[in-house]
Structure 1
Amino acid sequence: MFSPIKLSDNYYVAPQILTDDIPSIKEMGFDLVINNRPEGESDEQPNGNSLRDAVESTGLRYVENPIVLSSLSLSEVGVQAEACSGKSKVLAFCRTGTRSSVLWVLNNEGADKSFEELVGDVQASGIDLARCMGVMEGLKG
């Protein structure tokens, strides 16, 4: 069953979604789906264009912002921030939800909570950011 993880009132993360999940995503009131997974990362991964078509056919918006942690830059962080800048309810996904969570931490640091508090919130939700800390430390404000 599809069950995204809530990181804030308007930002949720999930592992890889499938086209079968899209009706549930729509029913849950999401406005925007962000794909943070590079195309062809694994054989079982659905094609990004088929996901885009399925998401957009329901009237939702779809944004691709593929992330490779080893080469993550402020450019990708900025794309995510721009996509999430409105009042939309956002579902961001990648293989496990980790990269989408990393982007959330980097985009929300200092707003209401510190970097450390945001990392703690994500980790308390069940997403382990330990392997991402070096990259995140290098990009935080």
Structure 2
Amino acid sequence: MFRKLDDTISVAAQIDPADLAEAKRQGFVAIVNNRPDGEQPGQPTDAEMAAAAGAQGLAYVAIPITHAGFTDAQVTAMGEALAAAGGPVLAYCRSGTRSTYVWALARAAAGDDAAALTAKAAAAGYDISGLWR
């Protein structure tokens, strides 16, 4: 269910409030929601997820990303969320792909090697090679 990119972050497809107890059990300290409200009928709202994360003692940040692409502000916010977490982060969106992309862009902005980021993503089942072209 949760796909580990590295020791600092895992990504997931849409989770629901009940999944946050498992995230806590697995040692995550923060949740990043990369999915905008209302993207698909029936998905939990940002407010529901924030409340559920708080009930589990997990930090929570919403950085909604649409299919239109990524902004510098979103990449910066992701980098800040990762830095502030103080432990493993679970980021989610519809499939985990947007979360993987924004993580890679944030880490590349911090100076991480693009090839290493691509390899980490590929090991988790995500092809982000198009980011660097």
Structures share fold, TM-score greater than 0.5: yes
Alignment length (residue pairs): 132
Query: Distance in 1 between the 2:77 and 2:104 partners?
Result: 14
Residue number among 46, 59, 62 corresponding to 1:61 in the alignment: 59
Query: Distance in 1 between the 2:27 and 2:117 partners?
Result: 24
Query: Distance in 2 between the 1:110 and 1:77 partners?
Result: 8
Query: Distance in 1 between the 2:69 and 2:12 partners?
Result: 21
In structure 1, the residue matched to 2:15 is 17
In structure 1, the residue matched to 2:29 is 31
Query: Distance in 2 between the 1:121 and 1:71 partners?
Result: 21
List gaps (5 residues or longer) in structure 1. none
Contact 2:13/2:92 (8 A) holds in 1:
yes
In structure 1, the residue matched to 2:104 is 105
Identity %: 34
Q: Tell me the secondary structure at the aligned position of residue 108 of structure 1.
A: helix
- Give TM-score scaled by structure 1 length: 0.84
Tell me the alpha carbon deviations over residues 83-137 of structure 1, each in whole angstroms, 9 at most, x when there is no partner: 111422100000000011001111222767521331232123112336xx2xx34
- Give TM-score scaled by structure 2 length: 0.88
- Higher mean alpha-carbon deviation, 65-74 vs 55-64, is at 65-74
- Show structure 1 runs of 4+ deviating over 2 A: 109-114
Aligned CA-pair RMSD: 2.0
Structure 1 segment 1-141 matched on structure 2, within 5 A:
3-86=1-84, 87-109=86-108, 113-129=112-128, 133=130, 136-137=131-132
